[in-house]
Structures are given as C-alpha cells and as structure tokens.
Amino acid sequence: MLRNVEIKAKVRNLDDIVSRAKKLSKSEGTWIKQDDVFFRVPQGRLKLRTFEDRTAELIFYDRPEGDGPKLSEYEKYTFPDGSKITSILTHALGVKGYVKKDRQLFMVGQTRVHIDHVEDLGNFMELEVST
C-alpha cells in the first residue's frame, strides 16, 4: 500500500492562508472540483472521487481517528468514466455519505497543500506528504 502523512485543520482566515500558500509555492495553485461518494465498508474508508471531466479515482484508505498528524495507507485506481462504477458500488455496498469540494492545490517541495471549500462544512486546509 502507498502511504502518506497528513494533517487537516479548519481555516478561519481563507485569504491569509491562500496568500501564504501562493508565496510558498510561487504559484497561483490549481483548482480542482471533487465530488466524493463514501461507501459502507467493514474497515477503513472507500470513496469514489469524481472530477469535472467525469474521470474518477476509487480510493481505499485506512488511518487513525483523532486530531494531529496521521499516517494514512491507501490504494487507488483511476477510471476514465466514473458513472458505471458509482452505480455498481452504490448497489453493492450502500452509500455512507457525500462530500463536495472545490480544492485549490499548491505544491511546496514534496508537500501537497490543499485549501478546500467543502459544501455545507466550510473551509479547510490539508498538508500531505508521501512517505
């Protein structure tokens, strides 16, 4: 399995965080719209992330609950069109929940800086480093 370390935090001052990310990355970042469907599974988490161009990534991951940095182990597979696999997994496993977000991605060295606006939840930042 692949592994990364990630830390997430609620963002109170979005403009300040975006400004800092732009400075550190020396870029404007990349905008990504993501629709995640989480499926019911006995262990870990299984989600299908669909993008605007209809491509999708099926991602299984396992990480501890709680605050602070977390080691996450994951596997993922990309589909050229996610509509059929969404239907299959929905019928086979059932849906646990949905998360829709607009993500601004910055790269700072080996660190992925995600600044997310999550529908109905607000703004968040995630730092992610592959191990």
Domain ranges (residues) in the chain: 2-130
| Cα torsion through 99, 74, 90, 10, rounded to 10 | -10
Region 46-72: mean pLDDT is 94
Examine the pLDDT at 67 and tell me if it is beyond 90. no
Report the percentage of the chain scoring pLDDT > 90. Answer: 92
Examine the pLDDT at 66 and tell me if it is beyond 90. no
Region 44-62: mean pLDDT is 97
- How would residue 65 be classed by pLDDT, with cut points 50, 70 and 90? confident
pLDDT of 68 reads 87
Over residues 76-129, the pLDDT tens digits come to 999 999 999 999 999 999 999 999 999 999 999 999 999 999 999 999 999 999
Q: pTM of the predicted model, to two decimals?
A: 0.90
Could you say which of 3.40.190.80, 2.40.320.10, 3.30.420.40, 3.20.20.100 is the CATH number of the domain covering 2-130?
A: 2.40.320.10
